[in-house]
């Protein structure tokens, strides 16, 4: 029988997680953390120690340095063991390795076994720890390290991942961003033997009486804090500048994530920001996902005139709360044109989607200069927007130089966007071009909500025939006089009422998960009661909860789909129960 290892996800960001080890109410340690060979580190930073029998193939023991299974014993434990098997270099991935690694509480995986060991596909195989045994070799082969990590994380999402020999204070943020949970002191000890230390910024000669361990402890603390605060991406990106190879790994990782589903977030917690502080950040997967949606699937709200107004962005989000955009709205003095903000790195942000993630949550330094890549992104998105929507004229107040087959009216004339003369030209252009009546406040809200539903849900059919009442910003959404939802500005999305669940079920407007038929659903969705799930689930999105063919309620995803096959703890939280 496999030894138990108590672990609970405290926080998550993309592929990185902050795990609590031991009793969930009083954890003894956390990860990311260290695997050590001595007692130089406190258990809070180093939850495990490792030993080996030195045989060929090797057998290792991973010993818990605190009671991580207190329900079994008050002593430290469990102790996990495994045979590593024969590990051949990644270049010999077609060769027969001979004896394979054992399959149990620890599983050792190499590049070769990823490609050839069919036992790894056994759905009953759910190890506590996975070791990427040839991580050192893979780190020196372009693209292979991040690919191997990604495959392992998706196959064993409930396991802790250790990549022996490659971690250090100078790269742990990057590796944690990829999904590595456990590091070791191999590189630090090698540096010590040469009179050097490895710091957050890389190796250097040690000062007199300088503690090498302090750099590890500081780095681990920074990474844990960054995961909890949803800022690990920025930390990893900053640390990647320590070496060209780390930048290469990060770029390859971004490509993999951009081509995968069930990893990104749909709705983020209040205070979360997408910090775009470098050109490297412009290809962050969440940005590419936004660009793809606006370019290929977005459609403008119904009921608008065929006039497109291009406006600049603002530092304050949502844009409409900024002083500059309040000035634009006064000058426009109409509600039936399609207002679209031109911004980097998102390219275009329609007014009707300005509150959703990531449009309402990004932060970028503004210099007024555009790179060629930025200009191409905006131009391509504008070309697509115009091609897929029936515009008659473009009023360009953005300052972005754009040419089109349609008439383009430049209202800036080289002035700043809030210049009095420029605002007067904008006002005159709108007055001359708009040919329909102003929309009422309710019509604007309904159009915006339908646009958000098309972005967040499978369709907007559940909003047919609605009315919007109440006060800004928490608008109430009613149908036939009954409240079915409320706009939640802190989420940039809807809070759906119980009365709406059956309606959404009938219109097939949300993704579905299925619970085991014999279990009475009382709270969280977890591995105990889950039967099947949609493989594209994103963190924060609402889900229809099914038992058999019957809809029993609504849940909100706490974890993205890649984790749902074997991650212990809450996967989704009950939101409404019928």
Q: Is the pLDDT of residue 577 over 50?
A: yes
- Residue 520, exposed/middle/buried by CB under 10 A (0-12, 13-18, 19+)? exposed
On whether the CB atoms of residues 283 and 276 are closer than 8 A, the answer is no
Beta carbons within 10 angstroms of residue 169's beta carbon: 28
Considering the domain delimited by 78-258, tell me its CATH architecture: Alpha-Beta Barrel (3.20)
Residue 135 pLDDT level (bands cut at 50, 70, 90) = very high
What is the residue extent of each domain of the chain?
78-258, 298-433, 440-497, 510-578
b/e code 112-146 from CB counts within 10 Å (16+ = b): bbbeebeebeeeeebbbbbbbbbbebbbeeeebbb
Q: Compute CA distances 324 → 29, 314, 318, 492, whole Å.
A: 49, 7, 12, 22
On whether the CB atoms of residues 215 and 225 are closer than 8 A, the answer is no
298-433: CATH topology is: Rossmann fold (3.40.50)
Q: What is the pLDDT of residue 98?
A: 54
Overall average pLDDT of the 499-513 stretch: 98
Beta strand pairing call for 475-479 and 467-470: antiparallel
Overall average pLDDT of the 86-105 stretch: 68
The rounded mean pLDDT for the chain is 93
Beta strand pairing call for 307-312 and 338-343: parallel
DSSP 481: T
On whether the CB atoms of residues 509 and 289 are closer than 8 A, the answer is no
Q: What is the pLDDT of residue 387?
A: 95
On whether the CB atoms of residues 33 and 45 are closer than 8 A, the answer is yes
Overall average pLDDT of the 363-369 stretch: 79
Query: What percentage of the chain reaches a pLDDT higher than 70?
Result: 97
Q: Is the pLDDT of residue 90 over 80?
A: no
CATH of domain 510-578: 2.30.130.10
Considering the domain delimited by 440-497, tell me its CATH architecture: Roll (3.10)
How does pLDDT run across 140-197, given as a tens digit for each residue? 999 999 999 999 999 999 999 999 999 999 999 999 999 999 999 999 999 999 999 9
**Whole-angstrom Cα distance, residue 246 to residue 268?**
27
Complete DSSP assignment for 155-187: H-TTSEEE-TTT--TTTHHHHHHHT--EEESHH
Overall average pLDDT of the 71-96 stretch: 75
Overall average pLDDT of the 79-96 stretch: 72
Overall average pLDDT of the 403-419 stretch: 96
How does pLDDT run across 39-77, given as a tens digit for each residue? 889 999 999 999 987 766 788 999 999 999 987 777 898
CA torsion through residues 559, 565, 568, 573, sign = positive
How does pLDDT run across 20-44, given as a tens digit for each residue? 999 888 999 999 999 999 888 999 9
**Whole-angstrom Cα distance, residue 122 to residue 135?**
23
Residue reference for tokens 């399609």: 338
11 strand-pairing partners:
18
Residue 91 pLDDT level (bands cut at 50, 70, 90) = low
Q: What is the pLDDT of residue 1?
A: 43
């Amino acid at each position: 029988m496999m030894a138990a290892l108590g672990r609970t996800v405290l926080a998550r960001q993309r592929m990185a997680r902050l795990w609590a080890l031991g009793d969930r109410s009083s954890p003894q340690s956390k990860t990311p953390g260290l695997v050590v060979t001595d007692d130089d580190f406190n258990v809070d930073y180093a939850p495990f120690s490792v030993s080996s029998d030195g045989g060929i193939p090797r057998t290792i023991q991973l010993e818990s340095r605190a009671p991580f299974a207190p329900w079994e014993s008050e002593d430290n434990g469990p102790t996990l063991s495994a045979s590593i098997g024969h590990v051949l270099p990644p270049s010999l991935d077609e060769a027969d390795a001979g004896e394979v690694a054992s399959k149990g509480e620890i599983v050792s995986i190499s590049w070769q076994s990823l490609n050839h060991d069919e036992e790894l596909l056994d759905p009953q195989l759910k190890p506590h720890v996975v070791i990427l045994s040839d991580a050192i070799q893979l780190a020196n082969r372009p693209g292979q390290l991040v690919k191997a990590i990604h495959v392992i994380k998706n196959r064993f999402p409930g396991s802790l991942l250790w990549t022996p020999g490659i971690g250090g204070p100078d790269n742990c943020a990057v590796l944690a961003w990829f999904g590595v949970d456990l590091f070791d002191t191999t590189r630090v000890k090698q540096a010590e033997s040469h009179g050097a230390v490895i710091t957050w910024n890389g190796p250097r000669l040690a000062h007199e009486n300088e503690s090498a361990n302090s750099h590890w402890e500081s780095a681990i603390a920074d990474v844990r804090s960054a995961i909890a605060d949803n800022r690990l991406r920025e930390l990893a990106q900053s640390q990647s500048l320590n070496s060209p190879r780390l930048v290469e790994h990060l770029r390859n990782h971004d490509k993999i994530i951009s081509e995968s589903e069930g990893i990104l977030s749909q709705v983020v917690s209040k205070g979360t920001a997408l910090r775009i502080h470098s050109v490297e950040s412009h290809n962050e997967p969440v940005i590419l996902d936004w660009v793809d949606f606006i370019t290929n699937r977005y459609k403008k709200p119904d009921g608008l005139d065929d006039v497109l107004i291009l406006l600049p962005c603002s530092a304050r989000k949502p844009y409409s709360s900024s002083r500059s955009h309040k000035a634009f709205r006064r000058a426009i003095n109409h509600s039936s044109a399609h207002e679209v903000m031109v911004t980097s790195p998102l390219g275009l942000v329609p007014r009707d989607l300005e509150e959703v993630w990531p449009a309402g949550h990004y932060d970028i330094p503004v210099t007024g200069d555009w790179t060629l890549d930025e200009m191409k992104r905006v131009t391509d998105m504008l070309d697509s927007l115009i091609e897929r929507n029936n515009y008659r004229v473009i009023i360009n107040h953005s300052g972005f130089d754009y040419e089109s087959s349609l008439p383009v009216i430049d209202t800036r004339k080289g002035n700043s966007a809030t210049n009095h003369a420029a605002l007067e030209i904008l006002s005159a252009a709108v007055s001359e071009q708009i040919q329909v009546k102003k929309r009422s406040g309710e019509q604007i809200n309904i159009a915006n909500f339908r646009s958000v539903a098309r972005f967040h849900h499978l369709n907007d059919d559940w909003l047919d025939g609605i009315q919007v009442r109440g006060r800004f910003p928490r608008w109430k959404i009613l149908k036939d006089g009954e409240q079915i939802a409320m706009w939640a500005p802190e989420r940039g999305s809807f809070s759906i009422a119980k009365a709406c669940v059956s309606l959404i079920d009938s219109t097939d407007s949300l993704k579905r998960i299925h619970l085991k038929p014999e279990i009475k659903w009382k709270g969280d969705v977890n591995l105990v009661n889950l039967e099947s799930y949609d493989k594209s689930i994103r963190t924060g999105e609402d889900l229809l909860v099914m038992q058999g063919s019957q809809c029993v309620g609504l849940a909100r995803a706490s974890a993205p789909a890649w984790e749902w096959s074997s991650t212990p703890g809450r996967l989704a939280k009950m939101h409404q129960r019928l």
